[in-house]
Amino acid sequence: MKLRHVILPVVLFVAAAIPSLADSTYADEGTFLAAAGSVVSQNFAGIAPAGSFVGYGLGGSVTLGSVTYSAGSASNLYIVDAGYNPALFGFMGAVASLSVDYGTFNIASSTVGGGAEAIGFTFNTIGGSGQPLTITLSNGDTFTVADPGNAGAFFGVITSSPVTWISLSDQGVGIDIGQFDYAVSVPEPSCMTLLVAGLMGIAALRRKISA
């Protein structure tokens, strides 16, 4: 009976100490990649002809690997070669990019397991409106990020539940994505550490009481 009363509070403490993950956002790609663990990275090189682009039309879409990229119904979707008009595409002029001319940019993830727990991408806006961009996840969470203009920026998010799609909307300017990263499962080392420490504590208490 004494053993039960001693161990039960320890078990409850261990369960309470394991945090439930909330969405964590990242503005630095290196930090995001370190936290996300094993990621799949997609770029858009070699798809459009050199010095040109491929157009997918209004509301167009393209599937690369296990991810589908699409434009809103009033937007045109393109994949643009790095050599096409680099002055217009800003820092994305150094790499091939996925582009919409204005409106809404949707990214649907059909990865193994039904979604991704980590999603990140480099992006810029063509010309820039100075107005913030809105990023919405399939779980209903919404983020507002500053318009980076041609200078470009990175946005990443790690969630507590798989994300099956992500949407970017702007204020009437184009959006370019240079690289898209995702991870199906994100490691939680802090939780495992707490669990192991709790179990070790229980074992030590059992030995002490038995002695």
Q: What is the pTM of this model?
A: 0.76
Higher pLDDT: 92 or 149? It is: 149
Mean pLDDT to the nearest integer, 172-190: 79
Judge whether residue 210 has pLDDT over 60: yes
CATH of 45-187, one of 3.40.30.110, 1.20.1250.20, 3.40.640.10, 2.60.120.200: 2.60.120.200
pLDDT tens string 162-178? 889 999 988 667 888 99
pLDDT tens string 7-27? 333 333 333 333 334 689 999
Mean pLDDT to the nearest integer, 129-156: 89
Mean pLDDT to the nearest integer, 129-143: 89
pLDDT value of position 142: 93
Judge whether residue 144 has pLDDT over 90: yes
pLDDT value of position 199: 57
pLDDT value of position 102: 77
Separation of alpha carbons 24 and 59, rounded Å: 30
